Amino acid sequence: MRKIKAVLFDFDGTIADTEKIILDSWQEVFRRAEGIERPAEEIYKTYGEPLFITMQRFFGEKADEYIKIYRDYQSTIFLDEVRMYPGVEELIKRLKSKGYMAAIVTSRLKKSTYEILDKYGLADIFDVIITCEDTEKNKPDPEPALLALERLKIDPQNAVLIGDSSYDMGCGLNAGVKTVLVGWSVSFDEALGYNPDYIIEKAEDLEGVLEALC
């Protein structure tokens, strides 16, 4: 019997190439707030963390003000600029054809998550979609992954979580699922200590990981 029954996918930086969109949105905030841009590497380390938490850390009680600037700016560009990473769409379809369940576990808002999925006709392919609005706690807390597992009706040992950030790896580790880090993104921070079980460089490499776990 197959051990792994489901794959939990992060969204930004894993399925959808939104790295530049997010970076540009943050730089617009810093230009408005501080009159200068910040180093990209500083911003990359926040990828995968819920926006409100990062904004609170940077701006404290003004977080809501700058969230609005961020989202207003991003809303003008993201649907035109967002792309799927090479091979990921095909991978998800192959996994589904082989009988795996697929879920999204993201720190993005529900509205923009579905807008991107609808653009590429992918919303209906996922069995479960968990956004930051579905849980009280967010990555690296296990709650988002555990909620996905609950809705899929499977145990942690029967799933893997694939993502690009330390927050993703922490969420999977804390939930008791195997973790897979993608090598096509920029946001993993070794300093946070959430080391992945596997690293892949191409989307199709995930199938080899799943076979090894059978």
In this structure, the answer to whether residues 72 and 149 fall within a common structural domain is: no
In this structure, the answer to whether residues 143 and 177 fall within a common structural domain is: yes
In this structure, the answer to whether residues 36 and 122 fall within a common structural domain is: no
Tens of pLDDT, residues 41-59? 999 989 888 899 999 999 9
In this structure, the answer to whether residues 153 and 60 fall within a common structural domain is: no
In this structure, the answer to whether residues 51 and 108 fall within a common structural domain is: no
Given a contact cutoff of 8 angstroms between Cβ atoms, the answer to whether 38 and 48 are in contact is no
**Per-residue pLDDT at 138 exceeds 90:** yes
**Per-residue pLDDT at 107 exceeds 80:** yes
Residue span of the structural domain in which 59 resides: 19-80
User: Would you state the pLDDT for residue 130?
Assistant: 98
In this structure, the answer to whether residues 142 and 187 fall within a common structural domain is: yes
In this structure, the answer to whether residues 172 and 182 fall within a common structural domain is: yes
In this structure, the answer to whether residues 57 and 76 fall within a common structural domain is: yes
Tens of pLDDT, residues 29-44? 999 999 999 999 999 9
pLDDT, average across residues 139-159: 97
Which of 62, 80, 98 delimits the end of a domain? 80
Given a contact cutoff of 8 angstroms between Cβ atoms, the answer to whether 101 and 210 are in contact is no
Domain membership of residue 1 (yes or no) is no
pLDDT, average across residues 107-116: 93
Look at the chain and report how many structural domains it folds into.
2
Angle between helices 166-175 and 143-152 (to 10 degrees): 60
Q: List 163's β-bridge partners, or say none.
A: 181
**Pairwise CA distance, residues 162 & 172, whole Å:** 8
In this structure, the answer to whether residues 138 and 45 fall within a common structural domain is: no
Q: Distances from the Cα of 5 to the Cαs of 15, 29, 58, 197, in angstroms? A: 19, 41, 40, 17
| Per annotation, catalytic residue among 10, 12, 17, 164 | 10
User: Would you state the pLDDT for residue 72?
Assistant: 94
Strands (DSSP E) found in the chain = 6-9, 16-17, 83-84, 101-105, 128-130, 159-163, 178-182, 198-200
Which of 30, 51, 80 delimits the end of a domain? 80
CATH code (residue 69): 1.10.150
* Residue of higher predicted confidence among 193 and 199: 199
Tens of pLDDT, residues 82-103? 999 999 999 999 999 999 999 9
pTM for the model: 0.90
**Per-residue pLDDT at 137 exceeds 80:** yes
In this structure, the answer to whether residues 55 and 33 fall within a common structural domain is: yes
**Residue type for position 95:** L
pLDDT, average across residues 122-140: 96
In this structure, the answer to whether residues 109 and 188 fall within a common structural domain is: yes
Tens of pLDDT, residues 4-32? 999 999 999 999 999 999 999 999 999 99
Q: Give the range among 115-119, 186-190, 201-205 with minimum mean pLDDT.
A: 186-190
**Per-residue pLDDT at 143 exceeds 90:** yes
Query: Coil, strand, or helix at residue 61?
Result: helix
In this structure, the answer to whether residues 143 and 193 fall within a common structural domain is: yes
155 classed as catalytic? no
Which of 55, 80, 105 delimits the end of a domain? 80
Domain membership of residue 26 (yes or no) is yes
pLDDT, average across residues 196-210: 95
pLDDT, average across residues 184-193: 72
